[in-house]
């Protein structure tokens, strides 16, 4: 079930408490105003940095392609671009390395699809296995079986098991955001800074939280930490669980209910772009608020950027090149098979809106030629 909680920033509550005691201090309100100005100035500086982007150069050295290997790639679910774009890129990169590559659609773990995919790789005596957006904790038992069978496992956009990190090698995104938690939190910071800068610190925000997805939780953590610095912002939280997200009509209904119950919010924030296309964007349009509500998402998928282009339910994306992530995971696998350590991939993100970084069509694609860089390292 979804729940909505209403929060004000602590400094706003403190001011209200003072007034309730009969103190009408001009100095108090002056301090709040000065604080708000500082918040906005800091946010605008952060936004400028993220509009420029956080991408850096891919690796320039590493092991040549390890020959004669077989690779399985298990997708979280090929029906959505958040899984399919990264998965297809990993398959492409694996074939570029010269490997025999098999793709398995985990289909959002319907009927145990994740475990079945991993065990297929074990049965096929695969040399390597890449799991795409599948956290170790969900599939720890088959990963233990893979380890016992000598199958090397790389987690692409996945979290390893805290109690046994040896079950999965994870990618290194960049030197500044080395793991998925840091990368997600940085995205959340960018979302919050954009909101504060765009609203001059007066944002009333409906914050959708995906409460049982680890990556979404990390993005939300970054957002909530940063938005707490805005002394004049207000936040309402709408909690969404995987069970809510399971059916398109059910999610759309939850999104519409949350928006209608949120009153005069001026901003809607989601952890993933798929929230927008699954119902949040439609709810905003049906409410007649497409031109008055700022909707900020994440990955920069084609369908979402079309909404930005057409001003139909999304305003901003914190976009990263999904193909780069897939190629980086294949490079990580090659390094693991060669007995080397993972290298920072250089993956970052850019803020995209109608005025900044919006491509004419399609998904967000980095200007960095990461494919050429990896081919050069691999000798391909």
Whichever domain contains 76, its CATH number is: 3.40.50.2300
Q: What are phi and psi of 256, to 5 degrees?
A: -65, -40
- How many C-beta atoms surround the C-beta of residue 354 within 10 A? 11
In a domain, 10, yes or no: no
Q: What does the H/E/C string look like for 286-334?
A: HCCCCCCCEEECCCCCHHHHHHHHHCCCCCEEEECCHHHHHHHHHHHHH
Q: What is the pTM of this model?
A: 0.88
In a domain, 361, yes or no: no
In a domain, 338, yes or no: yes
In a domain, 371, yes or no: yes
Query: 316 CB contacts (<8 Å, ≥6 apart)?
Result: 191, 194, 294, 295, 296, 297, 308, 351, 352, 353
In a domain, 359, yes or no: no
Residue (of 337, 327, 329, 331) closest to 152 by Cα position? 337
Q: Left (φ > 0), alpha (ψ -120 to 50) or beta: where does 277 sit?
A: alpha
On the CB side of 371, how many CA atoms lie within 13 Å of its CA?
A: 14
Query: 150 CB contacts (<8 Å, ≥6 apart)?
Result: none
Residue 4 is predicted with a pLDDT of 47
Residue 45 is predicted with a pLDDT of 95
In a domain, 313, yes or no: no
CA 83, CA 93: separation in Å to the nearest integer? 16
Task: Answer yes or no: are the C-beta atoms of 351 and 50 closer than 8 Å.
Answer: yes
Residue 331 is predicted with a pLDDT of 98
In a domain, 131, yes or no: yes
In a domain, 268, yes or no: no
Enter the DSSP assignment of 125.
Answer: T
**What's the CA dihedral at 304, 306, 307, 311 to 10 degrees?**
150
Domain count, the chain: 1
Low-confidence residues of the chain, pLDDT below 50?
1-32, 34
CA 264, CA 308: separation in Å to the nearest integer? 22
Residue 293 is predicted with a pLDDT of 94
Domain extent for 166: 70-179+322-347+367-378
């Amino acid at each position: 079930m979804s729940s909505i909680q209403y929060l004000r920033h602590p400094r706003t509550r403190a001011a209200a408490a003072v007034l309730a005691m009969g103190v009408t201090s001009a100095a108090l309100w002056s301090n709040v105003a000065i604080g708000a100005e500082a918040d906005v100035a800091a946010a605008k500086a952060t936004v400028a940095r993220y509009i420029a982007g956080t991408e850096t150069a891919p690796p320039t050295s590493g092991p040549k392609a390890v020959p004669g290997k077989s690779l399985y790639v298990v997708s979280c679910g090929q029906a959505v671009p958040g899984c399919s774009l990264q998965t297809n890129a990993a398959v492409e990169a694996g074939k570029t390395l010269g490997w025999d590559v098999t793709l398995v659609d985990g289909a959002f773990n319907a009927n145990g699809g994740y475990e079945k995919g991993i065990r297929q790789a074990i049965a096929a005596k695969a040399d390597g296995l890449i799991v795409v957006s599948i956290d170790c904790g969900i599939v720890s038992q088959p990963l233990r079986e893979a380890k016992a069978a000598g199958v090397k496992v790389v987690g692409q956009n996945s979290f390893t098991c805290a109690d046994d990190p040896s079950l999965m090698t994870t990618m290194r995104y960049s030197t500044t955001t080395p793991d998925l938690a840091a990368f997600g939190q940085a995205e959340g910071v960018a979302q919050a800074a954009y909101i504060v800068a765009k609203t001059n610190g007066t944002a009333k925000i409906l914050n959708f939280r995906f409460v049982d997805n680890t990556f979404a939780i990390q993005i939300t953590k970054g957002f909530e930490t940063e938005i707490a610095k805005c002394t004049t912002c207000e936040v309402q939280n709408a909690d969404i669980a995987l069970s809510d997200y399971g059916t398109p009509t059910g999610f759309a209904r939850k999104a519409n209910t949350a928006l209608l119950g949120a009153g005069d919010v001026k901003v809607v924030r989601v952890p993933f772009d798929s929230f927008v296309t699954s119902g949040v964007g439609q709810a905003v349009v049906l409410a007649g608020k497409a031109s008055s509500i700022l909707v900020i998402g994440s990955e920069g998928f084609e369908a979402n950027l079309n909404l930005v282009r057409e001003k139909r339910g999304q305003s901003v994306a914190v976009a990263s090149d999904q193909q780069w992530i897939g190629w980086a995971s294949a490079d990580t696998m090659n390094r693991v098979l060669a007995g080397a350590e993972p290298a920072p991939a250089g993956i970052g993100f850019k803020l995209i809106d109608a005025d900044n970084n919006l491509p004419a069509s399609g998904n967000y694609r980095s200007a960095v030629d990461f494919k050429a860089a990896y081919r050069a390292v691999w000798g391909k």
